[in-house]
Amino acid sequence: MNLTRKIIRDHLLPGSMEPGQEINLRIDQTLTQDATGTMAYLQWTAMGMDRVRTELSVSYVDHNTLQMGFRNPDDHRFLRSVAARHGIVYSPPGTGICHQLHLENFAKPGKTLIGSDSHTPTAGGVGCLAMGAGGLSVALAMAGEPYTLPMPKVFRVLLTGRLQGWACAKDIILHLLGLLSVKGGVGAVMEYCGPGVATLTVPERATITNMGAELGATTSIFPSDDQTQLFLASMGRPEDYYPLEADPDAAYDQTIAIDLDVIEPLAARPHMPDLIVPVRDLNGLSVDQVAIGSCTNSSYTDLKTSALILLDRRIAPSTDLLIAPGSKQVLKLLNREGLVDVFLNSGARLLECACGPCIGMGGSPPSAGVSLRTFNRNFEGRSGTQDGQVYLVGPAAAAQAALAGRVTDPSSWGKPPQKPVLPETAPSIRSLFIMPPPPKESKNVEIQCGPNIVPLEAFAPLPEQMDAEVLIVLGDNVTTDHILPGGAAVTALRSNLPAISAHVFNKVDPEFVSRARKAAAGVIIGGENYGQGSSREHAALGPRHLGVRIVLAKSFARIHKANLINFGILPLVFVDPSDHARLAAGCNIRLETRDLCAQTTLALQVDQAGQTGKIPARPDLTAKELNIILVGGWLNMVKTRQADNT
C-alpha cells in the first residue's frame, strides 16, 4: 500500500477505496482561520451541538488582523467565546499563521486533518493527511460527522538527487506546477517518495505540500521518517513521532520523476502560479517591492536564508522589503540569533506574524508595480492592487532582488550560505494558545456577537421546475478571488453574508450583483477548473444569497464544488464543452429538477433572444450529494435528520 491509502484505510468509514468512489473519513483534527472561521462557527452553533467531538480543534486568527473599526475585533471576540464554550483551542491574533503554527505545535504523522483553508495540506510535511475544505465541512467534522470526498488517485512524485547551488524547495513545487499546471493534480494526492526525500527537511517539505494546493490536488504528503523525528524533537514533541511510509512495492496511479540535481531557481509570472520561467530569464526586471513570508515560506529556515543574504547590506532605495515571520516561535528563534537586527538594519519592514500581504491585507504594491513574493498565489488583484505584477519566487531570489532593486541572474549571486537547520530545541510558544475550560465551566460561557455578525439565512430547497437567467459567462481557471475578492475591506464582512454578497464578481463585472438581484434565479457559466484557489465558502454563499441556483461549467475545482453542494447550488458539467460558446448573459435556462438523477445526462432548455434549443449537461454527483442539493444544502439536511431523530 502507498502511504495515502494506509492513512485512509485506518480512518475509513463507509466507502470503497476505488478512485472516484465516495469515501467517508473519520477526522482527527480540524483547524479554522478567522476569515472562514466566523461563518464556520455560526454554522456550528446553528447545529445546536455542545462540544466538539474531534481529538483536537483549533481556531486561529491570522487573516483579518487589521483591526480597523469594530468588525474584525468583534469577530475575534466571537471566535474566542465560541472556542471557550465548545472545547476549541484559540490562537489569538499575532501568534502566527495557522499552517505554520499547526505544523509546529499540533500536526502528527498518520492523523487526518481538515481545515477551512486551502493550504491545510502544509501539515502533509510531517506525514499527516491534511486537506482543505469549506467551513461547513469543518463544522460537520467537529460535530463528529465523517468528511466525504471522492477517493483520490495517488500520484507518486519520485525525487532523486539533491538540490544544488541556490535551488530551494520552492523551486521543486514551481517545477511541478510547470509540468502539470494548476489543474494537473485535481482528484489526486501527490505523494513524495524516493531517495531525494531524505535530503529535505520538514520546513522544506511543508513548502512543497503547501503549494500543492495550486496544483488543484486533494492534498500532498511526505513520509514520516528521520527528518520528521528531528523536527518534532526540535518542537518539543518527540512523543508525537510515528514512523510511516509507503510499502516498497506500493502501487500508484501515476509516477512523476524529478531529479533534484537539475532544479534551478524558478519564478511564476503574473497572474497564475503555473506560468513558470527560470529566474535567470527575468534578469534585469525592475522590482518595486519584495515580500518574504506567507504560509509557504515564513519558517525559521526560510527567513534565516534571507537574513544571511542581507547580512551587513542595505536594500535598494527604489525597493520596499516586507518580512512577515510565520509564528512568534520563528520570530523568537531569529531574535535569539540576532537576525531580527539584520532585517531592520537592511531597511526591511518587519510585519506582524500573520498572513498579511498574501491576502491583500496591507502591503500592496504600487500601481502596475512589480512585486516579488515568496507566497503561493499571484492571481490578478489578489495583492490589493488590481494591476500589480506579482511574481512568485523562493526566499533567496527575493532577498537578492531586494538588494539589487531588480531581478538578477543566480549565476551572479556567488556562493550560497549553508542551509539552515533547526536547533535541537526551539523556544515553545504553546503557552500563548488559550485552552478551553473544562466542560462544566464552558457551559456558562456566553457567545459574544457584534452587530456585523449575522446568522446564516435559511436556504430554500430546489424547486421542481426552474427558469433561471444566465448572469455571467466566464472562461477557464476562474478563481475564488475572481468570484469574491479578498483584501481588508471585503474580508472584514465575512461574518455578514448580505453585506459581503454585494462584492460578488465586482472586479470582473460590476453589474453582476444588480443583474442577480433582479433575476428570479440565476445561472453562472464557467470554463475549466471553475473555482480554483481559496477554500472560501463565501464564493458559494455569496452567489447563493443572490439567487444563483446553478453553475454550469466544463469542470470544477474540488473544494469549490463541495461548497456549492453544501449550500444547495447545483453544479452541472457540459457533456460537450463546445456548448459553452453557445451561451450568453441574459439567456434563459429551464431545468426540470424532477428529471435530475446522479450521473445521468439531462437536456437543458435554452431560450436565447427568442431562439430555443437544448444543451446536454450532467450532474457529476453522487446520490447523497444530489439529495443535499435538492433539500437546499447540508444545514437543511442536518436539521431534517435531527427532526427525524426526535
Return the DSSP state at 96.
B
549 a catalytic residue: no
In angstroms, how far is CA 372 from the centroid of its own chain?
20
Residue pair 644/168 in contact (Cβ under 8 Å)? The answer is no
63 a catalytic residue: yes
- Only one residue has cell 468588525, namely 71
Checking phi first, is residue 168 left (phi over 0); if not, alpha (psi -120 to 50) or beta? beta
Instruction: Choose the catalytic residue: 117, 240, 481, 579.
Output: 117
- Only one residue has cell 426526535, namely 646
**How far is Cα 292 from Cα 324, in angstroms, rounded to an integer?**
6
Instruction: Choose the catalytic residue: 5, 11, 28, 62.
Output: 62
Q: Which residues contact 450 (CB under 8 A, 6 or more apart)?
A: 70, 71, 73, 74, 75, 77, 78
409 a catalytic residue: no
Instruction: Choose the catalytic residue: 536, 538, 544, 549.
Output: 536
* Residue 229: closest CA among 127, 101, 300: 127
DSSP notation for 424-443? SSPPP-GGGSBPPPPHHHHT
**How far is Cα 138 from Cα 37, in angstroms, rounded to an integer?**
9
411 a catalytic residue: no
Q: Which residues contact 16 (CB under 8 A, 6 or more apart)?
A: 23, 151
**How far is Cα 244 from Cα 110, in angstroms, rounded to an integer?**
7
**How far is Cα 594 from Cα 19, in angstroms, rounded to an integer?**
29
Instruction: Choose the catalytic residue: 5, 76, 377, 538.
Output: 377
* Residue 137: closest CA among 106, 111, 113, 114: 114
User: Residue 319 carries which side chain, given as an amino acid letter?
Assistant: T
In angstroms, how far is CA 546 from the centroid of its own chain?
24
* Grid cell at residue 206: 511543508
503 a catalytic residue: no
Instruction: Choose the catalytic residue: 5, 63, 156, 580.
Output: 63
377 a catalytic residue: yes
Q: Which residues carry out catalysis?
A: 62-63, 117, 377, 534, 536
